[in-house]
Amino acid sequence: MASGNPAFNEKTFQQISRSGGAAMTVTGTISKTAILLLLVILGTTFTWNLSGPLAMPLMFGGMIGGFIVSLVTIFKKEWAPVTAPIYAILQGLFLGGISAAYNAQFHGIVLQAVLLTFGVAAAILGLYQTRVIRVTQRLRSIIFAATAGIAIYYLIAMGMSFFGMQAPMIWDTGWLGIGFSVFVVILAAFNLLLDFDLIEQGVAYGAPRYMEWYCGFGIMVTLVWLYLEILRLLSKLQRR
Q: What is the pTM of this model?
A: 0.89
pLDDT at 221 over 90: yes
Distance CA 175, CA 171 (A): 11
pLDDT for res 50: 85
Per-residue pLDDT, 13: 57
Mean pLDDT of 22-41: 94
Closest CA to 117 of 192, 28, 36: 192
List helix spans (H) across 49-108: 55-75, 80-105
Confidence label for 2 from pLDDT (cuts 50, 70 and 90) = very low
pLDDT of 70: 95
Greatest mean pLDDT among 10-24, 32-46, 47-61, 160-174 lies in 32-46
Return phi, psi of residue 14, to 5°.
-75, -25
Query: Distance (Å, rounded) from C-alpha 67 to C-alpha 91?
Result: 9
131-140, 156-165, 211-220: which has the minimum mean pLDDT? 156-165
Q: How many residues does the chain have?
A: 240
128 touches 193 (CB < 8 A): yes
> SS3 of 208, please?
strand
pLDDT at residue 168 in the model = 80
pLDDT confidence of residue 164: 81
